[in-house]
Structure 1
Amino acid sequence: MLLNARRINQEGGRRELILLAIEDITPLQEQVSANRLAYVMLDNSPDLVMRYDREYRYLYVNKVIEHLTGIPAADFIGKQLGELGAPAENVVRQKEAFRKAAAAKQQVSFELRFDGRLVQSLAVPEFDRQGKVVAFITFSRDITGLKKTEDALRESEERYRFLYETMTQGVVYQDASGRILSANPAALSILGKTWEEFIGSSSVKEEKSTIQEDGTPFPGSEHPAMVALRTGKPVKGVVMGDYNYPKKQYAWISIDAIPLFRAGEKKPYEVYTLFEDITERKKAEEALHDSQERYSKLFNAKVYGVTHCRIITDEHGRPVNYVIMKVNDTYLRIIGLKREDIEGKPVTDIFPGIENMPAGYIQKYGKIALEGGEIIYEDFFPATNQWLEIYAYQPKYREFTAILTDITERKKAEEALRESEETLNAFFGSSPASMNIFDETFHYVKINPAVEKFYGRPSEDIIGKSVAELAPGFRDAVKGVFTAVLETGKPQRAIEIGWISPLTGKMAYFLFHAFPVPLHGGKRGIGLIAADITGRKMAEDALRRNEYELRTLVDNSPDLIFRVNRSLQYVYVNPAYERVTGVPREQFIGKTNSQLGMPRQMVEFWQSNVRRVLESGREEPLEFDFSSLFGKRYFFARLIPEFEKSGLVATVLVIARD
C-alpha cells in the first residue's frame, strides 16, 4: 500500500486535522518486479541487446557490450550511436535500418561486421499509445561460425554437384518404390534418354528395353537397384544391356547399386546406381569369341586332335578331375579310342591313374580352366605311349580346350599359335583398360594403347623401361602386388591402388588384376590389367564427405535437435540433448517420453504439440521450460514437419534454442 499524509489547518483556530490517502499499488509493484526480472534476463542474454531514443542515444545496453568492446555498459547511456568509436560504416547501416523500421513500422534485419566477425541484428521499433515510434531496440548475435559452416556446406554441395554433372559414369537415384528421382547427364547420354522421359519412370517400366548378358529379358524387379532395395545390401558388378533408341543398339553397362538408409531405419529409403558404359569392351569380347570359333575350326583339321573339357573341383575349389565334353576325329585317331568311350566321361575313367602321373595333367588344366591363360608343352603320355605337343587355353570359365599334335607337326602348330597370338593381340590392342606385361625386374615388356595414353608417350618410349623410371609413385604402389604374384604364382585380383598420374599430376585410382605370365626362355613375367576408377572414387568420396559434414554440423550444434516419428518415438537425438538431460542418447532411441518416465504434464504437452504438426503438416513455434542438469531452462523451439514422398508427415524435427 502507498500511504500519503497531509496536515489540515481549520479556520477559527480549531484543532488541526490530518488527511490520509491510501492507494493499492500491488499491480505497480508487480510490474516493477517483472521489469526487474526482464532486465536481469537481458543482462544475462548471450545476444547483444540495446535500446535507443529517436536521436539514436543509448537508453539501455546489456552487459554483452562489455565483452565485445571492453567498455562498461553504463558508459554508453546518453551517448550518441557511434560516439564511443563504432565503425562509421556500421553507424550508417544501423541508422538506415532504424529509418526503414520506423517507416514500415515493423522489424528490419541487417548485418554488421565488427573486428572481423559477422553480426546479425534485428531493429525493432517501439511505439507509444498513439502509434508513434518513440524508441528502437536492437538484438544482435554473432553468426560468424554459422556463416562459415553454411559457406563450407554450400561449397561441399557445389563440389558434389559439379562432380555429379561432369563425371563420365552414369548415376541414377531411385526412391523406395523404384521410381527414378534423378539422373546425371552421363546416365542420360549412355542410355539415350531425355530427362522428361526418364525421370519419374521406374525399373519395372524400363524393363522392356533391358536384357541380360545371355540375351534373355531382364525383369525390372531383378534390376540391381530393386535387389538392393529389397535386400538392403549393395549389388555390384551386374552387367545389363539397355536399348539406346537414338543409336539403335544396346548400351552395355556394368552396374553397382548402393542402398541408402535413414538413421535408425533398417529399410532403405533410396538407392543410387553407379554404372559404366562397357559397350566397346563387350564388342571386343564378342569379336574375341568369334575369333576363337575360327581358331577352333582351324585346329579341327585332320592334322590336329582337339578336345574340349570341363574341370571338376572338390569342396575347396581344387581341381580333382575333368570331363571330356567333345573331341574331333583327329583326336580319336591320335588317342586310338572310340567317341562313345570318351565323350561325356571323366578322364580318370578313360585313363586310370592319370591323377597320379608326374606331369600333373589335372592340376595343369585346372589352372587354365579356373584362372585363364594358356599353356603349350611337350610330353610323353604313358597311356597311349605317344609324344605329344599339347596346347591348352580357356575359352570359358571352368572349361579348357586342348589341341594335340604329333611332334613332327611342330611347324603347323607354331603357325596356328601365331594366329592365336594375333587374335589375342587384337583384343589386347582394343581394350579400353590398361594392359601391361612386365618382366621379373618390373620392366615393361608389352603394353596396349591405353597405357600409351596414360603416360602420354608412344610405346617405343615405354617398352624396356622400368616402372621406377617412368612413374616412381606407381612403382611404390604396385611393388607389393608384383612381388606376391612372383612369389606365389597366383593372381592378385580386384586391388584398388591410387597414385599421382605422371601426365596430369593429379591423383588417379585404378582397379588392378595382376597375374603370372610365362615369358620366352622360361622366364616369369607379370600381367597387369588396370581399370580407371578415379571417377567412381571421387563420387564415393564426395558423397561420404557431404554426409560427414552434415552429420558433424548437427552433432556439434549447441541447439537441442531431435526427431520423433508418428508413434512419438525418438529416432534421433543430438549430443546437446544428452548434455542437458544427462541421459545417454541411445536410451532415447525407439522410446516415447512416457516410456522414458518423464512427468505426465510434460508428456501431454509434447504429445499435443507434435500431433498438431503431424496432422496439419505446418511448422509450429513453441516456447517451453525444462528442468535440466543446469537448473530450470527456457527454450524457444521450432517443430518442423518432414514429409514422405507420398506427402504424409513421417517425422517431426524439433530444434530448440536456450
Structure 2
Amino acid sequence: MKNKNENIITSHEDLQREIAEHKRVEALKAAKAEDEKNKSNAIIEAIGDGIIIQDTDFKIIYQNQVQNDLHGDHVGEYCYKAYESRDSICEGCPIELTFRDGKIHKAERSVITDTGTFYFELTGSPLRDSTGKIIAGVKVVRDITEIRRNEKALQESEKRYRSLFETMLQGVVYQDAEGKIISANPASEKILGLTIDQMQGRTSADPRWKAIHEDGRDFPGETHPSMVALRTGKEVNNVVMGVFNPREEKYCWINIHAVPQFRSGENKPYQVYTIFDDVTERKRAEEELREGERFLESVFASIQDGIGIIDKDMNILRVNPTAERWYPYAVPLVGKKCYEAYHRRRERCEVCPAWKTLKTGESAYKVVTKHGQGGKEVGWLEIYSFPMIDTATGEMKGAIEYVRDITERKRVEKEKDRLLKAIDNTTDGITIADEKDRYIYVNAAYAKIFGYLQEEFIGETWRKITPPELIAPTEKELTRTLHNKDFGTFRGEVPGLRKDGTIIPTEVQGTTLWDGDGNYLGHICVVRDIAERKQMEETLRLFSEAVENAPDSVQIVDLNGHIIYSNKATEEIYGFSPEEFRGKHVNELNADPEFAGKIILPAIKESGRWVGELTVKHKDGSTFPIWLNASMVKNSKNEPIAMMGIIHDITERKRAEEDIKKYAKELEESNRMKELFIDIMHHDLINPLTAASGFIELLKEDEIQSRKRIYLETIEKNLVKMLELMDSATKLSKLESSKSIELMAMDLEKVINEVIGNLSHLAADAGMKIENKINMSMPARANKIIEEVFTNIISNAIKYASSGKRIVLECEERKGCWNIRVTDFGEGIKDRDKTVIFGRFRRMAKKGVKGSGLGLAIAGKIMKLHNGRIWVEDNPEGGAVFIVEIPKLESLYQHH
C-alpha cells in the first residue's frame, strides 16, 4: 500500500512538472508570437502604402494606420460599400480575382475630389492557413497619382519634342555602333536627298554618298566624323563635307558635329548622332519612365522595390525577394553588413541614409549609385530609410530601407538634359510657347539674336520682338496659319525688334502643337538671324554691278587660261560679246599667241601677279596695246581658284607718250638756249654795267648841279637794280638745275647772328630794331647758301614792314627739326598772296620799294635743297611771320 501511494505521489509530481513545462513553453510561444506581431506591425507601418485585410466575405477585418489616414477607418464594413458606395462587389476587384484563382491581381482606381483627380493602384494577394486554404485577402493600396501625372506630362513633352525634331532646320542622323543609320529627321531627308528608308542601313563609309572635301578631294568614309567619333569615343566638331544629293543631282555642303553616345559604366560608344546644316533642333526622344511594380504574395513581399531591415549595427536582418534579385552574387544577404552586401565595401558608406536614421531616429532619403559584382557601378538607387520602432516598448530596433532602382529614370533625365543642351547650343534660335503663345522655353541663341537674357523672355509672347506696326498684321497671319488646325505651320522672313530698338531681318519657321482633341497646346518656333546673309547678298550684288559696269575691262579666267567672265568694258575694247568670250583661251586674243601661255600664266602661278604691256587683237582683226594687271584669285583656304585681269586700252596713252617725247626734246632745246642766254647775260652784260656804274660814281663826284646829280643817282640805282636782277636770275637758274648741294655741319645761330650784323645798318637807316631772341645753338647740316634765306626774309621785312619799327627772331625746337620764326609788325600779307610770293617775279607792291621778285623763290629753292621748307603766317599783333624749318643735327646739339 505504501509503495502504491508513493507511486501515485511520484506520478502526480511528474504530471505537475509536465504541466509547468507546458505552461512555460506556451508562454515562450506567446512571447515569440507577440514579438513577431510587433515586428510585422512595424514593417507594415513603415512601408508607406495602405494595407487592408478582408475575409472571404469581403468584410474589412484590418487596416493599417496609413490606410486609416488616407481613407478613414472602415474595419467591419464591406469594402465595396465603404469605398465605392456599392451594394455588390466592384467589377475587376483584385481581391475577388485572388479568391478565385489564388493568384496576385492588380487594379487601378481614380478618385475625383475638389483638389483634383487621384489615382491608386490596388494589389490583391491571398492569405492562407497552414493547410494552404485561403482564409483572407490582403490588399495593398498605393497612391500613384504623381506617377500618372508625370506620365501624362511626359507624353505631352514627348509629343512636343517629337514635333520639334521633325521641324528642325538642321539634319539629324543616328547611327549604331557599326555606323549604320538607324534614324533621321525630315530635314536630313531634304538635305541629303534620300528618304529614311533609303538611308537606313547605310554607313558613313558607303561610296554612294560621294563625299568630298572642300577642295574636291575624296572624303574617305573612315574619316567621316561619325566614324571617327565611334572609333575614338570623342566628339568631332565643325567638319565641312560635300555630299551628293541624288534628288537634286548636285552636291550640297554640310557642317557636321558628331557626338558619340555611351551607356552608363561603359567606355565604348553604342551609337553616334550627327547634327548638320541648318537644323537647330534634333530629335528629342524621351522614353517613358518605367517602374515595374511587382508585389509578393504576402504583405511584405507585395512591394516590388527592394526592402531591407537592418539592426543598429547595420547587420541585415531581412530582405524581400526583389533585393535578393538585385544582388544575386551576394546571396544570402541576411547576416551580412549592408555595405558589404550591397556595395562591396569594408566600411560604412559616407552618404548612407540608414546610418542617419539610426543616429537621429528620423527618416532619411538619398540617391546613390547601384553597384554590381566587383563593385562596378551599374545604375542608380533611390533610398528611403525609416526607423523600425518596437510598438510595445517604443524603442528603435533598427532601420527599414525602402529602395527603388531609378536607373531608367536617370537615363531618361540624362537623355532629356542632353537633348536640351544640344538644342540650347544650336546657332539658330528655338522657342517653345504654351497655348497662350507665352514662352516656356527659350534657348541661348534666340535670346542672343534679340539682345535679351533667356529669363527675360519667359512668360512673354512673340509681341515682345515684333515692331509695333507689325503686331496687328502678324496676328492676322498667325490666325490664318499657325493657329489654324488645317494649316498648322508658319514660315517666312519677318522683321525682328531687338532690345536696343534696332530692326533685324529674321527667318522664322513655326509649328503648332495640338492635343488629341484638336486643342491648341502651343507652338515651336525656329528663328534665324539673316542680317549677315542679307548684307552679303547686297554686297555681292553691288560688287557684281560695280565689276560689270567698271570703266576698265575686267576678265576672269580659270587656272588653265580659259575665259569664264568678261564685263561690259571688255566687250567695248575687244568687240566680242560675253558669250563669244566665254571658253576662249587668252592666247587667242593676243597678237603673240604664245605669250600668255609661256610668260603671263606661269608668272601669276609662281608669284601671284603679272603687270605689263602687251598687244592684243580686236574682233575686226586689228591690234592695239593694253596695260594688263593680272593676279591670282584664292579661296578662304588660300588655295588658287582662278585668275583675274584688269585691262586698260592704252592706245591714247601711247599716242600721248609720243607727243610727250617730242615736247621733251623741244623743251630740252629751249632750256639749253635759256642757259646760253643767262651765261651771255652774266658774262657779256655784267662787265659793261659794272664799268658804267663806276663812271656814274666819278661823274657824281665832279657834278655840282643838284639836278644833274639826281639824274646820275637815278641812273646808278637802275644800274644796281639790273645787276641785282641778273645776279638773282643767275642764282635761281643754278639752283633750279641743281638736284642736291653739299651739306656740312654748322650752327644756324651763328649764321643768323652774322646775317643780322650785315643788315643792322639797313634796319637802323629805316628806323627799325632787330630783336634776336635766339639764345641756343642750332646744329644742322646746311650749305653756306642758307644765309641767302635769312638775308632775304630780314631785308624784305626792312623794306615792306618798316612801319612796325621792329623785327623779332625766335627759335622753336621741334622733333627732328628747327623752326626759326622771323616776325614783323607791318601791314602783313593777304591770304591770297601767302603762296604766290614764293614764285618767280612775285613781290609785294609798295611805293618806293624796288625788287626783282626772285628773292623768296630763291629762298624756297634753297630750303628744298636742305630738305626743309619755308612759309608765312599772320602775326596776331599785325604783320607777318616767316617760318624756316630745317632738319636738326642731333650729335651737335647742346645748350648755351
The TM-score bracket by the shorter chain reads 0.3 to 0.5
Greater per-residue strand proportion: 1
Larger Rg: 2
